[in-house]
Every structure is written in structure tokens, then in C-alpha cells.
Amino acid sequence: MAHHEHRASREELYLASAQAHRPHASTDEILEWLAERHRVNDYQVSTMPLADLRGWTVEPETGNLRHESGRFFSVEGVDVATDFGPRSAWKQPIINQPEIGIVGFVTQEIDGVLHFLVQAKMEPGNVNYVQLSPTVQATHSNYTGVHGGTRTPYVEYFLDSNRARVLVNQLQSEQGTRFFRKRNRNMIVRVPSDDRLELRDNYHWVTLHQLGQLSDIDNVVNMDSRSVLSAIRFVSFGEPGWVPEAQGTTFSTAVFESSIAPDSAANHEFESVVAWFADMRARYRLSASLVPLKYVQDWHYDGVSISHRDGRDFSVVGVDVVAAGREVGSWQQPLIDSAEGGVVAFVCQRQSGVLHLLVQALVEPGTLDIVELAPTVQCLSGGRQGPQEGLRPVFYDLVCEAGPQQIRYDRLQSEEGGRFYHDQNRYLVVEVDERDALEIPENYCWVTIRQLKEFVRFNNCVNIEARSLIACVGTSAGVAW
């Protein structure tokens, strides 16, 4: 690593990019370009029986679904026991993908403003085929070239420290209800201004300001992008932060202020939040181990799909993909088809003038270390009607019955289209009045966004749903400030 020099800090670069009112291209242009990339590449995705998937097989001995090469991922069973939540023990299918991939943005200063290189990426599970992904979204086999196949464009900037400076490199978890301890490296690298980086088809430069605007539209900024963007911080380690003189009247300034708030302005000192989190990991038990899928009761494989006998939660289906713009022109693969109606929401409240989020310590089957910090409400398997009364999570009703004057964010966002079929969840932020004293269960805690981002930095502390949602509302923070 190079010795520290005096230079514009990464926080200053991010802030300027978030406030860039004269971006390289307008946001409408980005949307038009995205639509055009969709038109140009003739994408076709159709569902098909698992038994007919080329290259994939359900192993007779185990019932596991895997690729004949042993690559990509497999669908296996997981045997879960926990004292968290209403169910104490169950088995379910889960995706096993032990390799650590890279999801990362190449950035570069253009006309003095940091721009992010986004990709118009088709993923077979996306409802709208093409969304904005990070510059690179590559499995370990992808970027080490084990597959043969085309080398992932721009990946050299992430692998060769002479080509770019690393701004962010964090190990982050993915959906703990669907993946068994899956993680990716979330990266942002900065390429020197004089590097004449070739702009390929399907790639475009955008500012953080634009990414913020695009996050405010349904299903444009994909899950991996949101995950990486959650690492953006506007105040550096060991900086006291500040509360701007004119306290935020708009929600976006309140978000920004919560992102830079000094610890003294927080409801709980950071050390107390750390203590609460340690308590949660000591308080709950989680035992989870992979088992052959054929031993998972109530789930069956009928040649077409793997599904629960009550049609519950999700099923595993096959898709046939034809696409011009990808490394491989056409392929077939399994995807997870989840029940509709998922709700992911943060309840927030201004406390002594500073916006706080109510985080939940949540146990999920695929969590590496017992609990991670999750949104206030994370309800992914309720079905279109939502969960039955009596089975609704705490704060579910509060969130779903919130009036328009309380709703600060409400968009459909997609989970990763490379693994999930038409999986959109409703992402919400609901603000409760400063005078409302909510009753807080032991596994919930009020934190500032700055405090939450401190946890993001350390792997397996903040789950993908929480990171995704803070990216949605936080990326353009400071825009209006």
C-alpha cells in the first residue's frame, strides 16, 4: 500500500459527486441509453423444467441441484435450529456458492467530479431485463478466467493495484434467507485522470447525484450496485462530524445529517451500540448446516421445479436465456422464484433533531455469525396478501399502514437477477413523529446512519437488505443540502 499523501479525501470526492449539479450526462439521457441497450441486445428469457436444463443436474444421491462442471452454485438443503423467532427448527433449500466474487465500481474524475462507471447489465431474473450494475460483477471463476470465456471487462483495475487506487474494499454478505453464508467483495477503485480508459458498449459514466436520482425510480439500480454504494461515507474515520446549522427540513438533508452526525448527537453512544450488538450475538443461538436436499421434508422435486408442498416461500425454476451482450451468448440456469409481496422497511424518527433508524438484530439461516443488522421490517415470504395476522413481524402494520405524509421512500427494487426470478421487494422508509414513543423489543436499536455505516465497514455486520435500503436513500444525501 502506498504511503499516505495529502490529497482530496475520498469523502470530499464522494460529496462533490453527490452534489454534482452538472453531471457528465443528464439522468434522462442515462435512462434513454438504458432503454436503448435493452433494444439493441435482443434478450429472451423463458422458464423451462429443471430436468431439461443444459449442464445442470439433480444428483440422485443427494437431491442437490448443481452444474455438471461443479462451478457456479448449487441448491442444497440447510438444517436450521435457533431460539430466534417463532420457528425453532426447520429445513429448507438454500443456495451454496462458497466462492468470493467481486462487485465493484471503476471511478474516475471527469471535469473535476468523480464519476462511476455503470454497466447496462442484463440479468435473466430481472423483471425489466436490464438494470445498472457496477462496472464489474464477477465470480471468482469469472475473474480468474477458470471458465475460459471472455475476460470480464475492466477487472484488471480491481486486481492490479498499479492501475487504480482502492477507495473501498469490503467483504459483504448476501441474502441470508436464500444463500448459505455467501459473500462478495464490494469495491470502489479510482483510476487516475490521465488513464485513457476505453468506454465500451453497455457502460456509462454517472455521478453519485445521478445514482441517487436513479435509485428513486423502480428497478433501475441493481442490487449489487446498491450494496456497493452503501459503503459511501461522507465523513471519515476519526472525524468528529458536525450538525449543520440549518437542521434538515427535507428528508434528504436529514439523511445527510444523520450520515455525518457526531456521536454526541446520537441517542446511544457508539460504544453502547457495539455492546448491544455483542449482546445480540451472545443472546441468540443459530445452528445451520448443509444437508442433502433430498432430506428436506415438505419440499419436492417434480422434474419441473423444486417447491414446498404448500407453495410456500419460494421455488427453484429453470430459465432459458438468449442474450447478445453477455460473455456467453445463451445459456440455461436455475433461479429462485420467491413469493411476491416482500416488504423491506426502515422506521425512522428524528430524536433531538437527528434522524435515527430503527435497526433489528436478525437471525437468518445463512447468516455466518448468528445475527446481522437488518431493516426494521424484513418480510420476504408473506405472499401477495402479506403474512397472516398473528404471524406479522413487529412494526409490519406500522409500516404498511403508514400514511403518505409519513412515507419518505417507497420503491420496488429487485434482488440479484442472476439468482432470483422476478424478485422485487417493496423498499420503504417510514418516518414516525418525534413525539411518538415506540415500544422497542430487545433486538431493536436506534442508530444514526453514521453509526450504521461504521458497522457496514466490518464484514457480516449489516445485511444486504439494510445496505440496499440505506444506499437508496443515502446516495444522493447532501444533494439538497
- What residue ranges bind its own copies (CB under 8 A)? 1, 3-4, 10, 100, 166-171, 185, 236-241, 262-264, 266-272, 274-276, 278-279, 281-282, 368-369, 445, 450, 454-455, 457-461
In the complex with its own copies, the residue whose CB is nearer, 397 or 433, is 433
CB of 232 to its own copies, least distance (A): 11
CB of 454 to its own copies, least distance (A): 7
CB of 15 to its own copies, least distance (A): 15
CB of 130 to its own copies, least distance (A): 29
How remote is the C-alpha of 448 from its chain's centroid? 19
In the complex with its own copies, the residue whose CB is nearer, 102 or 117, is 102
In the complex with its own copies, the residue whose CB is nearer, 269 or 298, is 269
Quickly list DSSP for 285-350: -EEEEEE-GGG-TTEEE-SS-EEETT--SEEEEEEEEE-SSSSSSEEEEEEEEEPS-EEEEEEEEE
CB of 135 to its own copies, least distance (A): 17
**Number of neighbouring beta carbons within 10 Å of residue 428:** 24
* Helices then strands, each counted (H, E), the chain: 11, 24
Asked if residue 65 lies in contact with residue 316, where contact means CB atoms within 8 angstroms, the answer is: yes
CB of 241 to its own copies, least distance (A): 6
**Number of neighbouring beta carbons within 10 Å of residue 437:** 9
In the complex with its own copies, the residue whose CB is nearer, 56 or 444, is 444
Q: Which helix (H) or strand (E) is 185 found in, with range?
A: strand 183-191
In the complex with its own copies, the residue whose CB is nearer, 54 or 285, is 285
Rounded CA-CA distance 270/447 in Å is: 9
In the complex with its own copies, the residue whose CB is nearer, 135 or 424, is 135
CB of 406 to its own copies, least distance (A): 24
Rounded CA-CA distance 372/283 in Å is: 13
In the complex with its own copies, the residue whose CB is nearer, 188 or 348, is 188
CB of 214 to its own copies, least distance (A): 25
CB of 166 to its own copies, least distance (A): 5
Q: Which helix (H) or strand (E) is 33 found in, with range?
A: helix 27-40
**Number of neighbouring beta carbons within 10 Å of residue 96:** 18
In the complex with its own copies, the residue whose CB is nearer, 81 or 391, is 81
Quick check: helix, strand or coil at residue 372? strand
What CA–CA distances, in Å, run from 413 to 221, 466, 471? Answer: 8, 13, 12
Rounded CA-CA distance 334/107 in Å is: 33
Q: Which three cell numbers stand for residue 371?
A: 445475527
The residue among 162, 24, 179, 7 whose CA lies nearest residue 93 is: 179
Quickly list DSSP for 157-171: HHH-TTT-EEEEEEE
In the complex with its own copies, the residue whose CB is nearer, 110 or 159, is 159
CB of 344 to its own copies, least distance (A): 24
In the complex with its own copies, the residue whose CB is nearer, 264 or 405, is 264
Rounded CA-CA distance 228/466 in Å is: 12
CB of 52 to its own copies, least distance (A): 34
In the complex with its own copies, the residue whose CB is nearer, 259 or 315, is 259
Rounded CA-CA distance 119/135 in Å is: 5
CB of 269 to its own copies, least distance (A): 6
Q: What are phi and psi of 368, to 5 degrees?
A: -65, -45
Asked if residue 7 lies in contact with residue 114, where contact means CB atoms within 8 angstroms, the answer is: no
In the complex with its own copies, the residue whose CB is nearer, 89 or 437, is 437
Quickly list DSSP for 57-122: EE-TTT--EEETTS-S-EEEEEEEEESSSS-SEEEEEEEE--S-EEEEEEEEEETTEEEEEEEEEE
